[in-house]
A and B are shown apart, each in its own frame.
Chain A
Amino acid sequence: MARAVTTQHKTIATTAAWIVALLIFFPILYTIITSFKSEQEAIQGFALIPSGTTESYAEVQAQSGYFKFFLNSVILSVGSTVLALLIAVPAAWSMAFSPTKRTKDILMWMLSTKMMPAVAVLFPIYLIFRDTGLLDSRIGLTVMLMLINLPIVVWMLYTYFREIPGEILEAARMDGASLWNEIIYVLTPMAVPGIASTMLLNIILAWNEAFWTIRLTTTDAAPLTAFISSFSSPQGLFWAKLSAASTLAIAPILIMGWFSQKQLVRGLTFGAVK
């Protein structure tokens, strides 16, 4: 009897999970379907079976070189993530293992910067970038993306580090490990799943960031978000082309996510965000 109930529960839970997963994935699936339609088909209304034409892909490729944008996306997302980790690991370490009275407030203050709409600081940031010659530069945008995601990276790492018993670090110290040795040889290996999932999530966030990447670039540093944006047309049908461009833009990150999902899930369930 008990087994029957468990099986029934399992079936319900699995079905529910599938439904939720399908609901979440459906917009992406429909984008991919639409990319294989002709422009006329695409605007005609809801249809799950496309005619299978690849004309939109050909046109998108002919109109603008995908590779340049792709390369910029890789540089920006990986660059900003590495930079963020370099700063966030020591920061999270100090907050997790030597907290002070104000640690919680500092963490909250860091997170509060995420609560402001980005457009509110568009002009100041634009002027700073203009005066420092960073407009349309990969360096400028890498720093920008790093700053945007830094609060989240610190928070995530902080929650992972808190799970690690402080006694282990104390034991290392007793054995005469220096601060750096402690972080690099003791803390980091234990927090690898957490750091890996933080890294993956941050790469995804940076890859998808569309506000600053479109507004602070023109040609040289423009990533795939700018590539997608260029296919919308005020006068002329564009859904199929836009879908093809979007599919090309999300494909690499989707594949990366697919292969690293085990690591991602492990990391996300490792820390306090269980």
Chain B
Amino acid sequence: MKLRTLTLGLLSASALAFAAHAESITIATVNNGDMVRMQKLTDDFTKANPDIQLNWVTLEENVLRERVTTDIATKGGQYDVMTIGTYEVPIWAKQSWLLPLDKLGDDYDVKDIIPAIAGGLSVDGKLYAAPFYGESSFVMYRKDLMEKAGLKMPDAPTWDFIKQAADKMTDRANGVNGVCLRGKAGWGENMAFLTAMSNSFGARWFDENWKPQFDQPEWKNTLQFYVDLMKADGPEGASSNGFNENLALFQQGKCGMWIDATVAASFVSDPKASQVADKVGYALAPDTGLGKRGNWLWAWSLAVPAGTKKADAAEKFVSWATSKHYAELVASKEGWANVPPGTRTSLYNNPEYQKAAPFAKMTLDSINAADPTHPTVKPVPYVGVQFVAIPEFQGLGTTVGQLFSAALAGQSSVDDALKQAQDAATAAMTEGGYIK
């Protein structure tokens, strides 16, 4: 008996000693489907790296952004891996807040990352975050309603075609809105959509000298077109609709078309959640013939903050979560359709993925059609398709978003909204020292 107690004691002591040696890293993330799936699959990582323990912190997107910004700016060292987007990476890398990812491993194959995505996550040729999933935006439409309207959606439609189709598809009596678009105010909500849309109308946030451009005709054309389109063919209360609200409307068959994130394709084509799963077609985001389309580029990415004391373990995890091996792991457990999209070229060359995800080609084409370093028709001094990668943009983008949301709700005119946007942008740029 004594011997057994002693053996048990020794075993527990050695287990404790082992646990004490294990390094634990803290990963901050958001509660999106792909991230939740990753948390379930981490056994694969910890089996291969028994000396690394993983702690997860899942937060609401805006809280996450605020938390990681506070921590990184004060070098608090609370997080070893953080989930951030293409907006933060260039700004934070320039502040030396992120570590360059140069130890991702020999078999990581950095060149396989889709060039448009890699470009958005690199500064001076160095990768500062590894993409976990990437997205652009495109048109999702109801094939049956399009046919009923006697129209055929081209692969690359124009905004005029979208308006024409929306007019014909709108059937208020049956609760069908021709088109559903974002209206909820926020730099990552309606302004992501409207900024990308404005690119296709030839507009830009700032000229080469950082002078705001909301007083130019291109912005007037964009906003007027958007408000008119939504008034005629959009859903009721559109000014409070964001991604999730429009997703629900589309899944319930209440939208003829929805222009939003390519990631939505897997939701609307999922028969378990969507009533229209077998009726959805995809097309590139619209244009006006000026050479730029109204689609954005975003990648939820994993980065290692400069304040971490466990950089090697953190980078090991980043490498695992964004590797080809991880894609295969997801495919083997949950099928190819659930592999995080939009990050690696090899995924789109995989015939099994193409078969499982009918939207694969259109997603890749959309991602490739976005160029964060040259986002607009006229030249601009900034990087970013649906945002301007400067620290002031979060606040300014949301202010302008509120003005445009009010114009959509009919609380102000398009002209008033643009004038106020111009004033707000001029004030913010003057305060930031961009203009005098």
Contact = CB atoms under 8 A, between A and B. Distances in A.
B32 interface: yes
A215 B68 CA distance: 10
Given A43-B245, A219-B55, A238-B244, A123 B74 contact: yes
Given A123-B70, A230-B31, A235-B263, A219 B244 contact: no
Interface in B228-270: 243-245, 247-248, 251-252, 261, 263-264, 267
Contacts of A233: 30-33, 244
B70 A234 contact: no
Given A122-B70, A214-B59, A40 B31 contact: no
Given A215-B67, A219-B55, A236-B32, A40 B243 contact: no
Contacts of A122: 70
B243 A234 contact: yes
A52 B31 CA distance: 24
Contacts of A218: 26, 28, 55, 57, 78-79
B31 A238 contact: yes
B251 A40 contact: yes
B63 A40 contact: no
Interface string A131-144: 00001100000000
B33 A235 contact: yes
Contact of B60 (A130, A136, A229): A229
Contacts of A230: 31, 57-60
Interface string B24-47: 001010111100100100000000
Contact of B57 (A39, A40, A222): A222
Contacts of B30: 233-234
B32 A130 contact: no
A237 B243 CA distance: 9
Interface residues of A, number: 29
A8 B77 CA distance: 65
Tell me whether chain B's interface is mostly helix, strand or loop, or mixed.
Answer: mixed
A43 B70 contact: no
Interface in A93-140: 122-123, 126-127, 130, 135-136
Contacts of B188: 234
B74 A237 contact: no
A62 to B, nearest CB: 9
Nearest to A235: B32
B271 interface: no
Contact of A236 (B33, B55, B57, B77): B33
Contacts of B75: 130
A232 interface: yes
| Residue of B56, B60, B67 with highest tally of chain A CB at under 10 A | B60
B306 to A, nearest CB: 15
A127 B261 CA distance: 38
Contact of B70 (A39, A40, A126, A237): A126
Contacts of B251: 40
B356 interface: no
B244 A237 contact: yes
A222 B56 CA distance: 11
B61 interface: yes
A235 B243 contact: yes
Given A214-B67, A232-B31, 19 more contacts: A43-B244, A123-B70, A214-B59, A218-B26, A218-B28, A230-B31, A230-B57, A230-B59, A230-B60, A233-B30, A233-B33, A234-B188, A235-B33, A235-B261, A235-B263, A236-B244, A236-B267, A238-B31, A238-B244
Q: Which 4 A-B pairs have the closest CB atoms?
A: A230-B58, A232-B60, A43-B248, A233-B31
